[in-house]
Chain A
Amino acid sequence: MRKKYFAFLLIPFSLLACKEDPPEVQGDLIDIPYTPVDFVPEIPASFPMLEVPPDNPLTVEGVELGRRLFYDPILSADGSLSCSSCHKPEFGFSDPFPTSIGVDGVAGTRSSMSLLNVGFFYNGLAWDGIHPSLEAQASEPVVNPVELHENWDNVVEKLRLHPDYPERFRKAFGIEDSSEISEELATKAIAQFERTIISGGNSRYDKALRGEIFFTDAEANGYDMFFDISPDMPDAECGHCHTGPLLSVNDYFNNGLDEALDLNDFPDLGRGAVTGSIFDNGKFRAPTLRNIALTAPYMHDGRFQTLEEVIDHYDSGGHYADNLDPLIYNIGLTEDQKADLLAFLLTFTDTTYLQNEALLSPFE
């Protein structure tokens, strides 16, 4: 009889043993109000619509949390670097170095891309388009050994124990307990902030298109060559890959940076490493030219220090490969024409975004 009672007592214990430890949800944040407010970004009139994932709508609280995470070195292994370390506002949210240096002092292989207007881009993000979304992209630098070299478990733990972040996660996402802070929510917040990094509408280029100013003669000549407006000037072929309000297209090109007699010979396979197609080897995303004067050095590996070098490269026709874009060929611009083209490129500069404190560090 006693054996039967003993067996009966064992059953609940065995059930408990089989069950995983319950999450430590104690509701430590539940008293903090969760009343998110829609964030409505100011988008220049000519820009396309900002497409936001349905599961990550912009809110004032989410954008602000994202801004803090973007500028906070808490995401790095040694607390020395943040997203903003390689995406500095004053350089068009890019890095003035050819390739960025990570927390271990090791340089990466690619130049930091400008984040200006990044929320409007699709068909893959980064030079090779490996990231399907801003949310996915925001996850990678944290764990990349040549970037922040941290792991997300540590980051999440630091955020949970932080005196300020749990409340901000609550206000942004409605979590009830600090234990619900996660990589997913952190990257969502960063993506929200990045979608608000918008620049446009106040450059000389924008004003000239609106008829508010006239281009100088040099700028007008450059405009002509950039978009092949008249047969009297050479066609510099720029406008095929840098067009529309964002001065970019969502596509990948071999612009002749490296010779490759075999398509496997490229030092960096670029898009090809993502798609697996040999014909995509050596292709990279066409970046935006908005604020191009601020985002030196240029190309995916930062090989060109100046826009003059960039113009010389395209004028030369670049280096041969079977998949060299057919729009890359020897153009034969004169030095005056190159100078005019440069003058036009400088009309893309618009630093008014730097006056928007909501885009700058909250810690300074």
Chain B
Amino acid sequence: MKTNVRTILAFAFVLSLLSMVGCDNTDSNGALSRANVNFKAYYEGNPLVMNQTYDYNGIDIQFSKVRFFVSEISLIQAGAETEIEDVEMIDITSSNTNETAAIAGFNMGSRTVPAGVYDGVKIGLGVTSDNNSLLPAEFSSTHPLGDESDYWPVWNSYIFSKLEGRYDADGDGMFEGSLVYHIGTDGLYQMKMFEDLSLRMDENQSLDFEFHIDIKDIFRENGSFINIETDGFTHTDPSNPEQMELSTLVATNWKSALSFNE
């Protein structure tokens, strides 16, 4: 009788283990899949081409630089996170040089992930405080954090995003107005979650991950858009309340402007 009880208990134990494995949608055998991560930039729904003229509420505008850091890109399954990238620079300036290239977007490359079914994606806009406490000189020139031009020593911070361009306010064909939004400092790091997804990552297969960002949405303000003639400039100077207010708006808009295309 004792033996039978032990056998039943052992059987139940094995069954419970199997059921636990069954609840976990990641492959426990170490099977791997790949995520091809891509960022596409738009302006009012059209692929954003650098130095091309767009309409900004009646003003011609051209963008010459769009680049931003992303951090902690993770896949989520039942609350558990699998990080696929610590930090990367998304340089739309270099990728969106013409219409064809803009449609293709910025290819961040492929990342290996455990096979399984994921229900969410997490992405940080900017640089985590841990990384932000470091200096470009501590990295190689090929590392995303190794470029001095992306660091502002006065803030002791990386510049999380750069949006630069010129606009023609008086319509004379000369783009004499300057647009410069440089956003940084720990407080403006933005984390975005995309939930209720169903991302099936099969073994030895790859899945395209597309993040979209519409640059026009970065300018939203109280149901309208930022007046770039009066608020076209911020370096996120912490001692300047007006700049901080604008930078905070741009940073939160940047988060809102980002979407995930399943």
Contact = CB atoms under 8 A, between A and B. Distances in A.
Interface residues of B, number: 32
Interface string B172-198: 001110111000000000000000000
Contacts of A51: 140-141
A23 B150 CA distance: 51
Contact of B174 (A227, A235, A320, A329): A320
Interface string A225-236: 001111100010
Contacts of A279: 50-51, 64
Interface in A221-273: 227-231, 235, 239-241, 243-246, 248-251
Contact of B237 (A231, A243, A248, A327): A231
Contact of A277 (B97, B146, B165, B237): B97
A28 interface: no
A326 B152 contact: no
B140 A243 contact: no
A244 B151 contact: yes
B62 interface: yes
A168 B176 CA distance: 57
B79 interface: no
Nearest to B50: A279
Interface stretch (A29-37, A41-49, A64-72): A41-49
Contacts of A251: 149
Contacts of B154: 227-229, 239
Given A48-B136, A231-B237, A322 B175 contact: yes
B182 to A, nearest CB: 8
Contacts of B243: 231
Nearest to A123: B141
B40 interface: no
Contacts of A316: none
A224 B240 CA distance: 14
Contact of B239 (A231, A248, A323): A231
Nearest to A229: B154
A136 B62 CA distance: 36
A324 interface: yes
B96 to A, nearest CB: 12
B164 interface: yes
A326 B151 contact: no
Contacts of B180: 326-327
B148 interface: yes
Contact of A246 (B139, B148, B176): B148
Contact of A122 (B141, B151, B153, B240): B141
Contact of B51 (A49, A320, A323, A325): A323
B137 interface: yes
Contact of B147 (A230, A240, A249): A249
Given A323-B64, A327-B180, A244 B140 contact: no
Nearest to A48: B137
A20 B11 CA distance: 80
B216 interface: no
Nearest to A246: B148
B122 interface: no
A250 to B, nearest CB: 7
A250 B147 contact: yes
A5 to B, nearest CB: 67
B239 A326 contact: no
Contacts of B137: 46-49, 244-245
A48 B240 CA distance: 31
B166 interface: yes
B212 interface: no
Contacts of A227: 152-154
Contact of B146 (A48, A241, A243, A246): A48
The 10 closest A-B pairs by CB, nearest first: A244-B148, A249-B149, A326-B178, A48-B137, A231-B240, A122-B141, A227-B154, A279-B51, A326-B164, A326-B180
Given A228-B237, A326-B64, 19 more contacts: A48-B139, A48-B141, A49-B140, A227-B153, A228-B154, A228-B235, A229-B239, A231-B240, A239-B152, A239-B154, A243-B152, A244-B148, A248-B148, A249-B147, A322-B166, A326-B164, A326-B166, A326-B178, A327-B180
